[in-house]
């Protein structure tokens, strides 16, 4: 209202100015130009002010032309009929133009608003389609809605005990009253001045609550904070329609996550059966040797050479048993541990290989290892001990199938945004049909824990989002490759 | 001097404690043993051993509390025996000031080698030997020089800092956090990629074969140490 009063005063000043100019330049301008100048004032008024003000301006302009410029001047009398006709025409034309300008302005504003809404809907749709997990969906939603509507936005999740937690918020917000949140969850309906349930208040920091579901559910609730009683309905409608879009994306992501967790469970079961198949063979064999050797040692008439051979056997079988136990423990740990609880850090493949070679050296095991690292400063994100275990398992497998002087090659290379670590041997290669997908089946038929080791490598690969590929090389022997996603490492501040 | 050093074994498992005592005595060391933290504290005070072998799981408390207790007033080498439970646990031991760790099960030769290194380091420190020499590598911490095959090695300031820090206690494991805090500053303790890259570069200058390092050894998931022998 105050804004319109200021506009009216401004337009009156403009009218007065135009009247002054016309008055002093009357002899030069002529009545036509003067009339057009007044028409301009009315059009300007129609564009910037309400139609009523434009109409008042039109009447005032009509009176001004009549008083100052129509014969006889300085009276409201009109001498000629033509002059009357001109004045009335001016009034009608100015009123019509004012009305048209007003309509044009309204349509322009509407189309600008529609284009802005369409742009927002497109950006939102793009972001929702790109969100790969629910956390990202929440963050993108809050960020985009806050940017578009300049209101603090938050998403609240509800658990089975009806405990509400703010998962993401674009700014600090006050947690809504639990009774209101319960009402929204129980009815699947929003709370806003445009819906059934709204407590009128004069404060400016009220909240709209919009559930992701239109049915009673425990789905998340979007909170729009700092809203007043008379927010435009357009804003509410736009946010409501955004929430509909977001809830569809939410449904899509939850179904993907459910499928993923089912896949994870199936994988856990597969690992467990591989473990059971291998455990019996892998633990009984060395135990039998140890028990046999120890009981033989108890015999009194044993030669010292024989005794020494038996103690060596006990030591080597105990070491084998220790490594098998470690592998089995790892599997149990891997399957009982969620990926996110494993400490992941930057690792250098070159360094991991260094640890592996040192390990074989400490065991006094000969290892004819040829290491080829194409780019030494590559880093992968992972858990050092698990990655070392994967490498040791692959090298152990390669050793089993290699002749004494055969070399085992480790190749680290980078291609297509992936970092590959391959262990290659010169053995007889894998049986036809053996792939990374059927390790479990293979593990139950193979001797010496070959499958157990690979099952662990596969589980470790999965935890690192790495791909495991198994293939026979054209030049003979097998090649097992762990392919890790390459990630950008910022070392600019490390200098 | 090293061979008749007194070693305190803190281990509640009687068989393991027995095996440790037998093998250490067979190598010429003297041993005393404790099964609880309480008795270990008293033995430490009364006998002033040269080295402590510590099992983390003790009936009357966590072995890590013992490390903190000892480090308040003593630099005595502490060798931790770990059952490979958790990396975080091991890292915590090194951050608290443990010198070395051995994962169970371990062979006696490995144990004796670690004991020897730890005792040798204490002996060297007491002699205030500022020059570290191993094979072709010589590090002079006083004159800030590094020689490889008698040729001065040009290192960047960060590489110098890293190497000198490791050389300050050869054989001792420095955790990633300790190295990052000392070389880059406390706010960089989580930026392990800096460490990986610079260790890689330092190794490239020092080692003949970086995939089989001789001087700078990696303790997976924990940190680094300079080989002592």
Which residue among B84, B88, B196 sits closest to A343, beta carbon to beta carbon?
B88
Query: In this complex, is the C-beta atom of B229 within 8 Å of any C-beta atom belonging to chain A?
Result: no
Strands (E), chain B: 6-10, 30-34, 51-55, 57-58, 61-62, 78-82, 100-103, 131-134, 137-140, 145-148, 151-152, 174-175, 216-219, 223-226
Q: Are A54 and A46 in contact (CB under 8 A)?
A: yes
Closest Cα in chain A, distance from residue B14 (Å): 20
- CA angle B8/B9/B13 to nearest 5° reads 160
Q: Read off the pLDDT of each residue in A171-180 and give the average, rounded to a whole number.
A: 86
Q: What is the pLDDT of residues A460-489, one digit of tens each?
A: 888 888 999 988 888 888 999 999 988 767
Chain B residues within 8 A of A354 when measuring between CB atoms: 203, 210-213, 218
pLDDT at position B67 over 90 = yes
Q: Which residues 352-371 of chain A have a CB within 8 Å of chain B?
A: 352-355, 357-358, 361-362, 369, 371
| Beta strands B145-148 and B137-140, pairing class | antiparallel
A377 to chain B: nearest residue by CA? B197
Looking at the partner chain, which of A377, A384, A490 has a beta carbon nearest the beta carbon of B200? A377
CB contact under 8 A, A348 and B87: no
B-chain residues within 8 Å CB-CB of A489?
193, 197
Candidate from B87, B196, B204 with C-beta closest to A343: B87
B148 and chain A: CB distance < 8 Å anywhere? no
pLDDT-based confidence at residue A20 (cuts at 50, 70, 90):
very high
Chain A partners within 8 Å of B200 (Cβ): 348, 350-351, 376-377
Q: Is A347 on the interface with B (CB under 8 A)?
A: yes
In Å, how far is A422's CA from the nearest CA of chain B? 15
Whether chain A has a CB inside 8 Å of the CB on B204: the answer is: yes
Locate the chain A residue with the closest alpha carbon to B89.
A343
Write the ipTM: 0.79
Query: Smallest Cβ distance to A379: which of B105, B193, B209?
Result: B193
Find the mean pLDDT for residues B52-60.
90
Q: How confident is residue A447, by pLDDT bands cut at 50, 70 and 90?
A: very low
Backbone phi and psi for residue A369, each to the nearest 5 degrees, phi listed first:
-100, 130
Mean pLDDT for chain B overall: 88
Q: Specify the pLDDT at position B41.
A: 93
| Phi and psi angles of residue B123, each rounded to the nearest 5 degrees, phi first | -65, -45
In whole angstroms, give the CA distance from residue A119 to residue A102: 26
Contact call for A326 and B184, based on CB within 8 A = no
For A188, B95, B185, B186, the CA distances from B179, given in Å and listed in that order, are: 55, 10, 9, 10
**Which of B87, B188, B200 lies closest to A351 in CB terms?**
B200
**Is some CB atom of chain B closer than 8 A to the CB atom of A379?**
yes
Q: Quote the pLDDT of residue B161.
A: 92
The whole-angstrom separation of Cα A43 and Cα A341 is 69
CB contact under 8 A, B193 and A489: yes
Please give the residue that has the higher pLDDT: either B79 or A493.
B79
Contacts of A409 by beta carbon, 8 Å cutoff, 6+ apart: A369, A370, A371, A372, A422, A423, A424, A425
Say which of A346, A376, A379 has its CB closest to residue B204.
Answer: A376
Kindly tell me if the per-residue pLDDT of A215 is higher than 90: no
**How far apart are the C-alpha atoms of A471 and A481, rounded to whole Å?**
9
**Residue-level pLDDT at B76:** 93
Contact A354 B213 (CB under 8 A): yes
Q: CB contact, 8 Å: B133 with chain A?
A: no
| Pick from A314, A285, A283, A275: nearest CA to A444 | A275
Instruction: Please state the rounded mean pLDDT for residues B66-82.
Output: 91
- Over 50: is that where the pLDDT of B7 sits? yes
Instruction: Please determine, for residue B129, whether its predicted confidence score (pLDDT) is greater than 80.
Output: no
Share of residues in chain A with pLDDT > 90 (%) = 12
């Amino acid at each position: 209202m105050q804004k319109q009063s200021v506009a009216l005063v401004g337009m009156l000043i403009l009218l007065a100015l135009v009247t002054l100019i016309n008055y002093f330049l009357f002899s030069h301008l002529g009545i036509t130009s003067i009339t057009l100048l007044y028409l301009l004032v009315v059009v300007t008024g129609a564009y910037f002010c309400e139609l009523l003000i434009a109409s008042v301006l039109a009447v005032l302009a009509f009176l001004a032309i009549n008083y100052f410029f129509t014969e006889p001047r300085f009276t409201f009398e009109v001498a000629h009929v033509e002059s009357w006709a001109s004045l009335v025409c001016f009034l009608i034309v100015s009123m019509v133009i004012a009305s048209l300008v007003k309509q044009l302005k309204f349509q322009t504003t509407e189309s600008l608003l529609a284009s802005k809404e369409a742009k927002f809907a497109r950006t939102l749709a793009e972001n929702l389609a790109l969100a790969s997990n629910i956390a990202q969906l929440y963050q993108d939603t809050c960020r985009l809605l806050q940017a578009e509507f300049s209101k603090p936005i938050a998403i609240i999740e509800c658990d089975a005990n009806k405990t509400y937690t703010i998962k993401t918020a674009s700014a600090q917000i006050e947690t809504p009253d639990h009774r209101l949140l319960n009402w929204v969850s129980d009815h699947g309906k929003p709370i806003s001045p445009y819906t059934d349930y709204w407590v009128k208040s004069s404060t400016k920091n009220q909240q709209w609550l919009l559930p992701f579901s239109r049915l009673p559910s425990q789905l998340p609730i979007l909170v729009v904070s700092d809203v007043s009683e008379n927010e435009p309905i357009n804003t509410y409608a736009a946010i409501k329609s955004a929430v509909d879009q977001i809830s569809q994306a939410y449904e899509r992501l939850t179904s993907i996550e459910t499928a993923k967790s089912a896949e994870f469970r199936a994988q856990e079961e597969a690992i467990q059966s591989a473990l059971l198949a291998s455990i019996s063979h892998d633990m009984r064999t060395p135990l039998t040797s140890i028990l046999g050797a120890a009981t033989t040692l108890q015999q009194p008439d044993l030669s010292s050479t024989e005794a020494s051979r038996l103690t060596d056997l006990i030591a080597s079988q105990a070491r084998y048993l220790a490594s098998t136990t470690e592998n089995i423990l790892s599997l149990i740990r891997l399957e009982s541990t969620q990926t996110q609880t494993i400490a992941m850090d930057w690792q250098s493949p070159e360094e991991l290989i260094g640890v592996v070679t040192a390990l074989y050296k400490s065991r006094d095991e000969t290892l004819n290892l040829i290491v080829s690292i194409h780019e030494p400063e590559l880093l992968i994100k992972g858990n050092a001990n698990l990655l070392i275990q994967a490498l040791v398992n692959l090298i152990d497998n390669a050793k089993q199938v290699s002749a004494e002087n055969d070399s085992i090659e480790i190749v680290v290379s980078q291609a297509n945004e992936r970092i590959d670590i391959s262990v290659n041997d010169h053995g007889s290669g894998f049986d036809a049909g053996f792939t990374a997908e059927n390790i479990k089946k293979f593990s139950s038929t193979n001797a010496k824990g070959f499958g157990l080791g690979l099952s662990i490598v596969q589980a470790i690969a999965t935890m690192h989002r790495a791909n495991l590929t198994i293939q026979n090389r054209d030049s003979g022997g097998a090649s097992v490759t762990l392919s890790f996603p390459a990630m950008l490492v910022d070392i600019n501040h490390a200098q | 001097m090293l061979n008749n050093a007194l070693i305190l074994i803190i281990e509640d498992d009687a068989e393991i404690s027995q095996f440790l005592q037998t093998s250490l005595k067979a190598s010429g060391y003297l041993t005393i043993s404790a099964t609880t933290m309480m008795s270990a504290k008293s033995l430490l005070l009364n006998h002033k051993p040269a080295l402590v072998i510590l099992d983390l799981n003790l009936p009357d408390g966590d072995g890590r509390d013992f490390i903190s207790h000892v480090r308040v007033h003593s630099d005595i080498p502490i060798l931790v025996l770990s059952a490979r439970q958790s990396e975080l646990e091991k890292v915590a031991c090194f951050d608290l000031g443990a010198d070395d760790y051995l994962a169970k099960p371990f062979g006696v030769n490995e144990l004796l080698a670690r004991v020897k290194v730890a005792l040798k380091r204490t002996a060297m420190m007491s002699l205030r030997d500022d020059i570290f020499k191993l094979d072709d590598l010589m590090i002079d911490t006083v004159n800030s020089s590094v020689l490889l095959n008698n040729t001065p090695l040009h290192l960047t300031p960060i590489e110098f800092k890293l190497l000198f820090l490791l050389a300050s206690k050869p054989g001792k494991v420095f955790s990633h956090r300790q190295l990052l805090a000392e070389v880059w500053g406390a706010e960089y303790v989580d930026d392990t990629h800096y460490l990986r890259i610079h260790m890689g570069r330092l190794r490239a200058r020092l080692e003949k074969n970086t995939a089989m390092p001789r001087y700078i050894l990696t303790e997976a998931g924990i940190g680094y140490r300079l080989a002592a022998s």
